[in-house]
Structure 1
Amino acid sequence: MKQFVQDHLDDDPAQLLLGYLGKVDFDLKFAVQQINARQKVKSKVPSWYKNRNLIFPVSLSIEQASSELTGRYKVGLVSGGKMVDLTGGLGVDSYFLSQKFQTAVYCEQNKDLFDITKHNLKVLSPDKFEFVLGDSMTWFIQQQEVFDLVFIDPARRGEGNRKLYRLEDCEPDIVGQWDGLKSKSKAILVKASPMLDLKLALGSLQDLAKIMVLSVKNEVKEVLLFWSLESVGSSPRIEAVDIRNEASIAFSFTFEEEENSSNKIAEEVGQFLYEPNAAILKAGAFKIFGHRFGLGKIHPNSHFFYRK
Structure 2
Amino acid sequence: MIQISPETQLFIREHSSDDVRALALQAKKYPDIDMPTAITQIAGRQVAAEKIPSWREMEEIWYPKHLSLEQCSSETTARYKARLFQGDSLTDLTGGFGIDCSFLAAGFKSATYVERQEELCEIAAHNFPILNLNHINVRNEDGVAYLQTMSPVDCIFLDPARRNEHGGKTVAISDCEPDVAGLEELLLSKAKRIMVKLSPMLDLSLALKELKHTQEVHILSVNNECKELLLLLGQEAPTEQAPPEEIPIRCANLFTKGAQEEQHFAFTREQEQHSQCTYTDSLGDYLYEPNASLLKAGAFRSVAAAYSVRKLHPNSHLYTSDTFIGNFPGRIFRIVNQCSFNRKEAKESLADLKKANVTVRNFPATVAELRKRLHLTEGGDTYLFASTLNDGRKVIIRCEKV
Q: TM-score range by the shorter chain?
A: over 0.9
TM-aligned CA deviation for residue 24 of structure 1: 4.5
Q: Which has the larger radius of gyration?
A: 2
1:5 aligned to 6, 9, 12, which one?
Answer: 12
1:253 aligned to 262, 267, 279, which one?
Answer: 267
Output the amino acid matched with 1:303: H
2:57 aligned to 44, 50, 58, which one?
Answer: 50
Aligned position for 1:180: 186
Deviates more, 1:225-234 or 1:168-177: 225-234
Check 1:14–1:128 CA distance in 2 against 1; reply closer, same or farther (3 A cut). same
Aligned identity (percent) is 38
Aligned position for 1:276: 290
1:297 aligned to 311, 327, 331, which one?
Answer: 311
Aligned position for 1:108: 115
TM-aligned CA deviation for residue 34 of structure 1: 1.0
Task: Give me the whole-angstrom Cα distance separating, in 1, the residues matched to 2:94 and 2:129.
Answer: 18
Task: Give me the whole-angstrom Cα distance separating, in 2, the residues matched to 1:142 and 1:88.
Answer: 17
Q: Do the aligned residues in 1 keep the contact of 2:170 with 2:202 (CA within 8 Å)? A: no
TM-score, length basis structure 1: 0.94
- Residue segments in structure 2 that go unaligned for 5+ positions in a row: 1-7, 323-402
Aligned position for 1:25: 32
**What secondary structure is seen at the aligned counterpart in 2 of 1:187?**
strand
**What secondary structure is seen at the aligned counterpart in 2 of 1:106?**
strand
Task: Give me the whole-angstrom Cα distance separating, in 2, the residues matched to 1:159 and 1:40.
Answer: 22
**What secondary structure is seen at the aligned counterpart in 2 of 1:209?**
strand
Deviates more, 1:40-49 or 1:276-285: 40-49
Matching of residues 155-304 of structure 1 within 5 Å: 155-160=161-166, 162=168, 164-229=170-235, 233-234=241-242, 235-245=246-256, 246=259, 247-304=261-318
Aligned position for 2:362: none
Deviations 1:79-131 (A, max 9, x none): 10000100000000000001100010000001112211221123213421111
Output the amino acid matched with 2:134: D
Task: Give me the whole-angstrom Cα distance separating, in 2, the residues matched to 1:159 and 1:251.
Answer: 33
**What secondary structure is seen at the aligned counterpart in 2 of 1:239?**
strand
- Residue segments in structure 1 that go unaligned for 5+ positions in a row: none
Deviations 1:180-207 (A, max 9, x none): 1011111100000111111111100012
TM-score, length basis structure 2: 0.73
Q: CA RMSD in A?
A: 1.7
Deviates more, 1:291-300 or 1:77-86: 291-300
Task: Give me the whole-angstrom Cα distance separating, in 1, the residues matched to 2:20 and 2:185.
Answer: 48
Aligned position for 2:385: none
Task: Give me the whole-angstrom Cα distance separating, in 1, the residues matched to 2:35 and 2:69.
Answer: 21
Check 1:98–1:126 CA distance in 2 against 1; reply closer, same or farther (3 A cut). closer
Task: Give me the whole-angstrom Cα distance separating, in 1, the residues matched to 2:214 and 2:134.
Answer: 33
Task: Give me the whole-angstrom Cα distance separating, in 2, the residues matched to 1:60 and 1:116.
Answer: 15
Task: Give me the whole-angstrom Cα distance separating, in 1, the residues matched to 2:275 and 2:167.
Answer: 41
Q: Do the aligned residues in 1 keep the contact of 2:51 with 2:74 (CA within 8 Å)? A: yes
Deviations 1:26-77 (A, max 9, x none): 3122112211221122111112232111111110000000001001111110
Task: Give me the whole-angstrom Cα distance separating, in 1, the residues matched to 2:263 and 2:18.
Answer: 37
Deviates more, 1:164-173 or 1:286-295: 164-173
Task: Give me the whole-angstrom Cα distance separating, in 2, the residues matched to 1:163 and 1:270.
Answer: 38
**What secondary structure is seen at the aligned counterpart in 2 of 1:93?**
helix
**What secondary structure is seen at the aligned counterpart in 2 of 1:102?**
strand
Higher RCO (CA < 8 A, seq sep 6+): 1
Deviations 1:245-277 (A, max 9, x none): 354211000000001113111132212111111
Q: Do the aligned residues in 2 keep the contact of 1:156 with 1:165 (CA within 8 Å)? A: no
Check 1:133–1:59 CA distance in 2 against 1; reply closer, same or farther (3 A cut). same
Aligned position for 1:64: 71
Q: Do the aligned residues in 1 keep the contact of 2:169 with 2:201 (CA within 8 Å)? A: no
Deviates more, 1:251-260 or 1:18-27: 18-27
**What secondary structure is seen at the aligned counterpart in 2 of 1:297?**
strand
Aligned position for 2:328: none
Q: Do the aligned residues in 1 keep the contact of 2:128 with 2:136 (CA within 8 Å)? A: yes
- Tell me the matched-pair count: 307
Task: Give me the whole-angstrom Cα distance separating, in 1, the residues matched to 2:182 and 2:236.
Answer: 22
The structure that is strand-richer by fraction is 2
Aligned position for 2:347: none
Check 1:150–1:304 CA distance in 2 against 1; reply closer, same or farther (3 A cut). same
